[in-house]
Amino acid sequence: MACFKILASILVEFSRNLRWPLSRSRTHICIGSLFGLALFFYLSATLADNSPAVTSATLASRLLFSSTSISSFSSFIPLDNHLVSDPLKNNSDGCAFSTVAAVERTRQESTNKTETHITGDLTSCDIFDGKWVFDNSDPIYQPGSCPFIDDAFNCFKNGRLDSGYMRYRWKPNDCQIPRLDGKEMLEILKGKRLAFVGDSLNRNMWQSLVCALRESVMNKSRVFEVSGRHEFRTQGFYSFIFTEYNCSIEFFRSPFLVQEWKINDSTGARKETLRLDLIHGSSSKYFNADIIIFNTGHWWTHQKTSRGKDYFQEGDHVHSKLGVAEAYTKALHTWARWVDGNIDSDRTRVFFRGYSASHFRGGQWSSGGNCENETQPITNSSYLAPYPQMMNILESVIREMRTPVFYLNVTRMTDYRKDGHPSIFRQPKGHRQAAGMIQDCSHWCLPGVPDVWNQLLYTALLISSRQ
């Protein structure tokens, strides 16, 4: 009889721990079923000449553990994560108890533990505040493996022998960022359009992303540019299709973001101007993309803007003289008004990539500046350039916008990377001039620094998709 008392105490304790909102009748049915099960074990033990006390004591410990665990979980985890109907039985009484859902979730949590920890930390972390650390792991795509890189960015193909510029990763001070997972990013982009809009630095980033995503696709023939082109510098629009994911990665050339224009001067000759009050005409083609990454900056120089003389136009008025900073501010306000008035932020996510640092020594692009033989990043922040005024202007404009804009602030992080530019490797050795060759200390070798920009873009999209 002692064993029956033990079993009775088990059932009483179990019923006390049942705190989920089942009806009283269902609870009684469950308890009755468990009591019958206990009797079955008891009779089995008796028939097998085993001690019923041992059997009931073992059962007691198991039932008490289960009931206590269920009660504690039910206080903070949705009930249906633990109570599920057995799909193999037509059981409508609500008594079927299964841990399948809980086990599956535990397996998922274990698999994604590191990734969840990383993305969780990022919600309160400045991912642009950090340092470059050397990493021996391979770049996300091998040098020379991607056919969609401009020759001018393809330093490996053009004879650059050192590989350090490909092996530095960005480490934020207060968190970790995940390595770009091409398959997962393509899943996020499935059925979507992602558009880069801006100058050749955004083309640099666009090609980096195309190559990174292409690397994760098994059948690479199903990744192609819609026009069939294999050069990507002369046209204003390019689009790569990833057929298996029904998504496109596009580039719209718009170096100022506002409209380049032509008017007749006093002699009747055609003269180029820049309409500070009109968004670039290509906006009608990208306004409804799912993700847009804008940039501008490198063309806002005296050389590109006729030193501000008779170049900047608003309405019918051409300014006889206007400073570049003021013109840049006006253009950004035009862009901001257009975004606020034309972008549906429920559909489209807007990014703006900040100014990417150049590293010319002894001059600029057209005056003998060079960055040859740089093989390591700057490590001392006191050697970095002052923060560009143009980025302060951009940040001020973004703060005033109604549309949420994710600011990819790569300015400081790129300032460390004097080693990452093509320099003389913008051309193959046979095409370089013996003297006076223009070096490229603005764009970046691929693989290289823009891969990290896309890693940060991926991080932002990953967090957003999980929220």
Q: Whole-angstrom Cα distance, residue 168 to residue 289?
A: 32
Strands 317-318 and 312-314: antiparallel
**CA neighbor of 460 nearest in space, from 411, 407, 415, 412:** 407
Residues 406, 340: contact at Cβ < 8 Å?
no
DSSP conformation letters of 48-91:
TT--HHHHHHHHHHHHHHHHHHHHHHHTTS-GGGT----TTS--
* DSSP H or E run through 395: helix 389-399
Task: Find out whether the peptide bond into 447 is cis, omega within 30 degrees of 0.
Answer: yes
Both tokens of 192, joined, read 């979507």
Alpha helix positions (H), 231-379: 283-286, 324-342
Alpha helix positions (H), 75-181: 100-111, 113-122
Catalytic residue annotation: 200, 440, 443
Alpha-carbon dihedral sign for residues 372, 377, 380, 382: positive
Residues 295, 202: contact at Cβ < 8 Å?
yes
Beta carbons within 8 Å of 431's beta carbon, 6+ residues apart: none
Q: Whole-angstrom Cα distance, residue 172 to residue 127?
A: 5
**CA neighbor of 353 nearest in space, from 428, 434, 436, 251:** 251
- The SS3 call for residue 267 is coil
> Residue 405 pairs with which residues in a beta bridge?
350
